[in-house]
Chain A
Amino acid sequence: MPRKTMIEAIRDAMDIMMGRDDDVVVFGEDVGYFGGVFRATQGLQAKYGKNRCFDAPISESGIVGAAIGMAAYGLRPCIEIQFADYMYPAYDQIVSEAARLRYRSNGQFTCPIVVRMPTGGGIFGGQTHSQSPEALFTHVCGLKTVVPSNPSDAKGLLIAAIQDPDPVIFLEPKRLYNGPFEGYPERPVTSWAKHELGEVPDGHYTVPLGEAVIRRNGTAVTVLTYGTMVYVAEAAATETGIDAEIIDLRTLVPLDMEAIVASVRKTGRCVVVHEATLTSGFGAELCALVQETCFYHLEAPIARVAGWDTPYPHAQEWDYFPGPSRVGRALLETMEQ
């Protein structure tokens, strides 16, 4: 099976959907002729024409607002916000409009858009190229929020997102664009070509939204995570020797509660891991749900490992990023309780 980077897989997903459905249009800043600052849309304009893939003015609310209008017409826009850190000017359009259009119009108008955003840190991106704003979307009723962790999922989830009848926020961990990352910046970068999850089937397939996957089977403790932290958690499990079951949630809303409940009831322990800041982060919701659904199976308090409650710093990148040692410590402490 061909191996692809996550960027190539994401591009492949858009290519396939543009080929299958004339209503799929792709636009955003630098997305057209240039093919995107991360190359995710390279070649799409040449292949499908400027009507289908084009550059947009630097206006996030303009990009999302225009996409909502197009969706109301009947198109299926798959748009890009260059960095998730720059989605805030579009937040009104996302929260007040895209998320609520079906509800407030009683289904007269719908909003089948996908908003792609590179997210996450670990790249010396500083304050405005590293954020993980997923909790600002998961709190919004009417949105679906997806975070893939590998090329194979990225393609299948993006195709599913484009086909989905509702607005989907598609957060792409840019640290994973070219290869997996366990949280050791000093180690040589590995590429997807050397990883089995870099195997991306050709053609059309979907990974259904709302389905988590177990990345590592274990019996001692359940780790709930997504994005880059999947690999960090795997490294932490290996290093501590703790038999952790690592669940890659993939979709945050709707959430795969069955997978979560089954695993935590089996292990009796749970650690939640994400890059985003701690307070009111998505981890808080995960903790609450586990507590509500698995209380009598829990043998230890649910632990959270997250970014500190500070803006994402530059020089202190590796003091901020929740690396394998912090995750490992949480695993050990949870096992000791």
Chain B
Amino acid sequence: MNDYAPLSLHVPEPAVRPGDNPDFSDVPIPKAGSVERPPVDADPESIRGLAFSIIRVLNRNGEAVGPWAGLLSDEELLEGLRHMMTLRAFDSRMQTAQRQGKTSFYMQHMGEEAVSCAFRKALSPGDMNFPTYRQAGLLIAGGYPLVDMMCQIYSNERDPLKGRQLPVLYSARDYGFFSVSGNLATQYIQAVGWAMASAIKNDTRIAAAWIGDGSTAESDFHAALVFASTYNAPVVLNIVNNQWAISTFQGIARGGSGTFAARGLGFGIPALRVDGNDYLAVYAVAKWAIERARRNLGPTLIEYVTYRVGAHSTSDDPSAYRPKTESDAWPLGDPVIRLKNHLIVRGAWSEARHKQAEAEILDAVITAQKEAERYGTLHAGGKPSARDMFEGVYEEMPPHLRRQRQLAGV
């Protein structure tokens, strides 16, 4: 006689699928300005609530409100707007270039521009990001040349990575941008190691780790949190929750945990959740966490709540797994439009100037693209030499590789 009903497996499902009406009514969105701003040396226990709320600065009327507002000048915000618009224009051109066969692959940032662009502005020279493939805003806001990015995407003769790496897996050491790997989450623990090294050398530079919602399920995410917590490493642990890991909704990675930010609490790491489409909120929270790290107060985990508006990549069709109009229903809106509206409310911007800026930025991106294409695209024009394929496996080429290079006839 069995006293128990048969067990059953729970497989989470998103609220809606293709053909359904998008529905985010179950996503609680706190009012802008409603979340406290604790001192950077606050006891992690005392700020547990920040892992379950959403820090927001910009309200529906485009006003900056509450304790996290007031950090950025008009000029800084206009610069931020320009970075986001540049990233969006860059994405659009490279997406098209992929469709035209000028490269094999591209991944865009639509809807997530504020996260990497604003975070980058909160860092200091010498700090190091350990990004995923969806933080090109770190490069653009860091002043990395668009032409170099495009040459990497085109794998052409000016590709800084000599054609060895898939498009968008950039590397730019001098710009605080660690080499992007195709293997997910590996860089999260590496960021912690870099931060530990900075502490070992009594440096004041800090590291920033980046991961998406889906990849938090990888074991290196957990290794990173353990190491960051154990060694009080000066690292900001960023989770970009854009709701989707290719076709898999975030509930599959999150499971029964209330939020991704809450994962930090079990490790004793203070965790904040922020409106990822609010440039001002992202900047303010980043500044807070970076200040904590720099004061040797240890790691901070930040969950950016955002939405992946575009396809996962140029190899993906989201209409196969989510409603086509879901991004329109996303309650946190569009980061570019929200910052634009805020600047207009501030009296620092106008619709006309925005239109003009859009045209100017597109023009600059096209100019860069034309230059990059002069150095070749994937299937046409200049390309890295076949000899480059054998270089850099080791510092010095060992005899067996020299033989193989000879066999290859290069």
User: Using a CB–CB distance below 8 Å, which chain A residues touch chain B?
Assistant: 25, 51-52, 56-57, 59, 61-62, 65-70, 72-75, 89, 92-93, 96-97, 100-110, 141-142, 144, 165-166, 210, 253-255, 257
CB < 8 Å neighbour of B190 from A97, A105, A108: A97
Give the residue among A65, A96, A100 with the most B Cβ atoms within 10 A: A65
CB < 8 Å neighbour of A104 from B181, B193, B201: B181
Contact A254 B195 (CB under 8 A): no
CB distance from B227 to the nearest CB of A (A): 5
Specify which chain B residues have a CB less than 8 angstroms from the CB of A66 in the assembled complex: 189-190, 192-193, 196, 227
CB distance from A18 to the nearest CB of B (A): 12
Specify which chain B residues have a CB less than 8 angstroms from the CB of A253 in the assembled complex: 398
Contact B181 A97 (CB under 8 A): yes
CB distance from A56 to the nearest CB of B (A): 8
CB distance from A261 to the nearest CB of B (A): 11
Rounded to whole angstroms, the CA-CA distance of A72 and B194 in the bound complex is 7
Nearest 10 pairs of A and B residues by beta carbon: A69-B193, A66-B193, A65-B189, A62-B223, A69-B190, A73-B197, A105-B179, A254-B398, A69-B194, A105-B171
Q: Which residue of B has the minimal Cβ distance to A54?
A: B231
Contact A96 B227 (CB under 8 A): no
Mark interface residues in B151-178 (1 if CB within 8 Å of A CB, else 0).
0000000001110110001011100001
Q: Which residue of B has the minimal Cβ distance to A67?
A: B193
Q: Which residue of A has the minimal Cβ distance to B183?
A: A96
A-B contact pairs, 26 of them (CB 8 A): A25-B197, A57-B223, A61-B220, A62-B223, A65-B193, A66-B190, A66-B227, A67-B193, A69-B191, A69-B195, A69-B197, A69-B207, A72-B178, A73-B128, A73-B197, A74-B197, A100-B181, A102-B395, A104-B165, A104-B179, A105-B171, A105-B173, A142-B393, A166-B395, A257-B399, A257-B400
Specify which chain A residues have a CB less than 8 angstroms from the CB of B394 in the assembled complex: 102, 142, 144, 165-166
Q: Which residue of B has the minimal Cβ distance to A70?
A: B197
Specify which chain B residues have a CB less than 8 angstroms from the CB of A92 in the assembled complex: 183, 186, 220
CB < 8 Å neighbour of A165 from B130, B178, B181, B395: B395
Answer whether A62 and B227 are a contact pair too, CB < 8 Å, given A97-B186, A105-B171: yes
Contact B162 A106 (CB under 8 A): yes
CB distance from B348 to the nearest CB of A (A): 38
Answer whether A109 and B220 are a contact pair too, CB < 8 Å, given A69-B191, A70-B193, A103-B164: no
Answer whether A69 and B192 are a contact pair too, CB < 8 Å, given A75-B197, A102-B394: yes
Contact A210 B181 (CB under 8 A): no
Contact B393 A69 (CB under 8 A): no
CB distance from B144 to the nearest CB of A (A): 13
Specify which chain A residues have a CB less than 8 angstroms from the CB of B128 in the assembled complex: 72-73
Contact A62 B393 (CB under 8 A): no
Rounded to whole angstroms, the CA-CA distance of A75 and B198 in the bound complex is 10
CB distance from B228 to the nearest CB of A (A): 10
Answer whether A59 and B179 are a contact pair too, CB < 8 Å, given A69-B207, A102-B393, A254-B398: no
CB distance from A65 to the nearest CB of B (A): 3
Interface residues of B in 206-235 (CB under 8 A from A): 207, 219-220, 222-224, 226-227, 230
Specify which chain B residues have a CB less than 8 angstroms from the CB of A255 in the assembled complex: 400
Specify which chain B residues have a CB less than 8 angstroms from the CB of A68 in the assembled complex: 190, 193
Specify which chain A residues have a CB less than 8 angstroms from the CB of B219 in the assembled complex: 61, 89
Answer whether A106 and B160 are a contact pair too, CB < 8 Å, given A59-B226, A166-B394: yes
- Tell me, yes or no, whether B200 is within 8 Å of chain A by CB: yes
Specify which chain A residues have a CB less than 8 angstroms from the CB of B161 in the assembled complex: 104-106
Rounded to whole angstroms, the CA-CA distance of A103 and B178 in the bound complex is 13
Answer whether A69 and B186 are a contact pair too, CB < 8 Å, given A62-B223, A62-B224, A106-B164: no
Q: Which residue of A has the minimal Cβ distance to B219?
A: A61
Q: Which residue of B has the minimal Cβ distance to A144?
A: B394
Q: Which residue of A has the minimal Cβ distance to B225?
A: A62
Give the residue among A52, A73, A166 with the most B Cβ atoms within 10 A: A73
- Tell me, yes or no, whether B392 is within 8 Å of chain A by CB: yes
Rounded to whole angstroms, the CA-CA distance of A253 and B188 in the bound complex is 29
Rounded to whole angstroms, the CA-CA distance of A67 and B197 in the bound complex is 9
Contact B179 A101 (CB under 8 A): yes
Q: Which residue of A has the minimal Cβ distance to B188?
A: A65
Specify which chain A residues have a CB less than 8 angstroms from the CB of B188 in the assembled complex: 65
CB distance from B264 to the nearest CB of A (A): 16
Rounded to whole angstroms, the CA-CA distance of A70 and B191 in the bound complex is 8
Specify which chain A residues have a CB less than 8 angstroms from the CB of B196 in the assembled complex: 66, 69-70
Specify which chain A residues have a CB less than 8 angstroms from the CB of B178 in the assembled complex: 72, 109
- Extra 12 A-B pairs, beta carbons < 8 Å, given A65-B186, A65-B192, A101-B179: A57-B226, A62-B226, A65-B188, A66-B227, A69-B195, A70-B194, A70-B196, A70-B200, A72-B190, A72-B194, A103-B393, A253-B398
CB distance from B109 to the nearest CB of A (A): 21
Rounded to whole angstroms, the CA-CA distance of A97 and B220 in the bound complex is 12
CB distance from A81 to the nearest CB of B (A): 14
Contact A104 B169 (CB under 8 A): yes
